[in-house]
Chain A
Amino acid sequence: MDEFTLRLLDAYQKNFPLDEQPYLRIARELGVDENRVLQRLAELKAAGIISRIGPVFDHAKAGASTLAAVAVPKKDEAAVAAIINAFPCVNHNYAREHDYNLWFVVTAPDEDKLHDNIRAIEKACNCPVLMLPMEKAFHIDLGFSLRERATC
């Protein structure tokens, strides 16, 4: 990865400029022209390296959410994952190595609707959902430094 791309990816995961022309601001900070920034960001988005440019909302303040898990037979995993993914209130559905093998995040505008969503998922999957809401955040997602990652 070239130095320009590395700097672009490392420096703008938080405090993205709120200037009228944020990409021009970034271009000036990195010593390139605005088109180069726009073009590189478009390429990185197309390649899937950047999922999006935008806000990460605080779960508790933006609504209700919980981490959730189900334990399903390995052979049924993909089918159950598809059922869960069909719910628009679900994001980040990962298979993991454990008896509880599907881990996903359920969101809702408020706590009552969150419980409704969990019940609806339990009904659709025909199995109980383990609900593990965040009680306290010690370290939140503040971005991901590519430079500090030489070892891990």
Chain B
Amino acid sequence: MLNTAQQHALRLLIQEGLPLVSRPYACLAEQIGSDEDSVRAILKDWQESKLIKRFGLVLNHHKLGYVANAMVVWDVPDDAVESIAAKLIGFSGVTLCYQRPRRLPQWRFNLFCMIHGKNRADVLAYIDDIVQQQNLQHIEHKVLFSTFQYKQRGGRYAVASAGAA
């Protein structure tokens, strides 16, 4: 069993990545003063309780050649969010789909999805297909391509002083 301090220390360590050694869990355990089995057990618990939503290789889409990264935002009537989202997530190219609040008058789009592609034209054609196939012509959407990646890394939730810089 890991005490609270050890759990915190493990979260700090593991968000930097699993060590590339034959027994990585033993390596982490040693650094937090615990043992291999306890580390493996708590990682299993965290996955079962969904604190960890996935555990594995985190890929950089950009480096794989998927350089066109579009955030597509939709202005969906509040009572249709669930049904429209269900349509969007049926497409394998849609990697995330979240409902977010409107901030009127500045921002009225309440449904967000991410689409990664090898180039802009492919992504735009893909979005057109979604609109046509699912009859979403009446739902206004905007495509926000990324033009530059200023920072990309996993969230540092376990940083003790996550406050202002």
Contact = CB atoms under 8 A, between A and B. Distances in A.
B52 A57 contact: yes
Q: A interface, how many residues as a size bin?
A: 35 or more
Contacts of A140: 53, 96
A84 to B, nearest CB: 8
A45 B60 CA distance: 10
A126 interface: no
Interface in A46-105: 47-59, 61-63, 65, 67, 78, 81-82, 84-98, 100, 102-105
A41 B103 contact: no
B96 A9 contact: no
A53 B27 CA distance: 15
A126 to B, nearest CB: 15
A3 interface: no
B43 A18 contact: yes
Contact of A117 (B66, B93, B163): B163
Contacts, number: 281
B60 A59 contact: no
Interface string B65-109: 010010100000000011001101100111111111101001100
Contacts of B44: 18
A109 to B, nearest CB: 6
Given A88-B159, A138-B88, A144-B59, A95 B154 contact: no
Contacts of A32: none
A25 to B, nearest CB: 11
Given A93-B150, A152-B123, A139 B97 contact: yes
B85 to A, nearest CB: 4
A149 B153 CA distance: 23
Nearest to B41: A18
Interface in A11-60: 12-16, 18, 20-24, 34, 38, 41-42, 45, 47-59
Given A100-B107, A148-B92, A152-B123, A55 B55 contact: yes
Closest A-B pairs by Cβ, 6 of them:
A120-B164, A52-B17, A138-B85, A93-B151, A63-B157, A16-B56
12 contacts: A16-B56, A20-B36, A22-B18, A38-B21, A81-B151, A89-B162, A107-B162, A113-B163, A134-B100, A135-B101, A137-B98, A152-B122
Given A15-B54, A117-B162, 12 more contacts: A23-B20, A38-B21, A53-B18, A62-B155, A81-B151, A84-B150, A89-B165, A90-B151, A96-B71, A96-B145, A133-B101, A151-B122
